[in-house]
Amino acid sequence: MRRHYRSYFWPVVLIVIGLIAVLVELNIISADRLYRLADLWPLILIVIGLELIVRRTAHGMTVDIATVLILLIAGIGAIGYVAAGPPIPAGTQTLVAADPLGTLTAASVDLEVGAADLTVVGDSSLGADLYKAVVTYSGSKPDVTLDRSTGALRISQQGEFGIFGIHQLTIDLHINPSVTWSFSLNSGATNATLNLTDVNLTALEANDGAIKLDLTVGPPKGIVPLRVNGGAPNVRFHRPSGSAVSVQLSGGALNLTADGHHTAAIGSASWQSDGYAGATDAYSIKVNGGACSVTVDANIPAP
């Protein structure tokens, strides 16, 4: 049975690739549509699974016929998908988005992407605008939407989770510090730098496969929860001198450096600044991951 799989699978794959190349050369299929081939990697798993079923349930010439039909249908479907589907733009493009502040007093940022480089800055020069986002991307066009009923600013990019496609997404976000802000970061991998010294931060939650977070904040108002969950989170937290903070780490290998005090542990580690127990205004940091590296300092001058 194994002979049939080796005899037909790769030859048909090569034939399909050759046909697509010919159609591109004849300008029947635009070259920019070749990016869509990365979307079809699950099809390989489906074809292999069907092949295994056929080889275990059929016999003789039935195996040969079924094998050829499966591969031909998959090949024709792949050619049709590349030819008829909308093209994915090659190279990088830029999207600029902004919305007026209006009557909002609170807003949030919800990031839902495959991977991103994110920079957020509190910017009082925005005036009547709530935010300004400059997004540099390759692949599919991101969505930047604001729900005015809740103040939720959502930045998302669909279809960028394939393992063969290489996509770029860089977000430069300026936010108006005249309203309170919270953040929800959800992605496969995030490299985030947030400079929020002039922003009233109410909460931050990050759930990423891998996250590198550099967070600079101003004085807390109330108990501000900061939650980070990831495979190997790397967090740097900078606060004004005199601001109370509590740090709790859980997971595998943990490294915590807080105001010059270093702790290495397995499973859990914690630290809190002087005066945290009775503080009404403080940051509460919780980080969970397979390997956590967290640095906390008070390098921001108090206002």
Determine the pLDDT at residue 165. Answer: 44
From residue 65, how far is each of 55, 59, 149 by CA, in Å?
Answer: 11, 10, 59
User: What are the structure tokens assigned to 171, written together?
Assistant: 């977000």
pLDDT tens digit sequence for 203-225: 999 998 778 999 999 999 999 99
Nearest to 140 by CA among 111, 162, 109: 162
Q: Looking at the chain, list the stretches that DSSP marks H as alpha helix, in order from N- to C-terminal side.
A: 2-25, 41-57, 61-84
| Structure confidence at residue 56 (pLDDT) | 77
The answer to whether the CB of 142 falls within 8 A of the CB of 158 is no
Confidence of residue 5 (pLDDT cuts 50, 70, 90): very low
Band of residue 153 on the pLDDT scale cut at 50, 70, 90: very high
Q: Which of 59-68, 88-97, 157-166, 236-245 has the lowest mean pLDDT?
A: 157-166
pLDDT band at 247 (very low <50, low <70, confident <90, very high): very high
Q: Distance (Å, rounded) from C-alpha 256 to C-alpha 263?
A: 5
Q: What is the 3-state secondary structure (H, E, C) of 120-160?
A: EEECHHHCCEEEEEEEEECCCCCEEEEECCCCEEEEECCCC
The Cα–Cα gap between 83 and 226 comes to 47
Q: Mean pLDDT, to the nearest integer, of 228-254? A: 93
Is residue 110 classed as helix, strand or coil in its secondary structure? strand
- 71 pLDDT tier (thresholds 50, 70, 90): confident
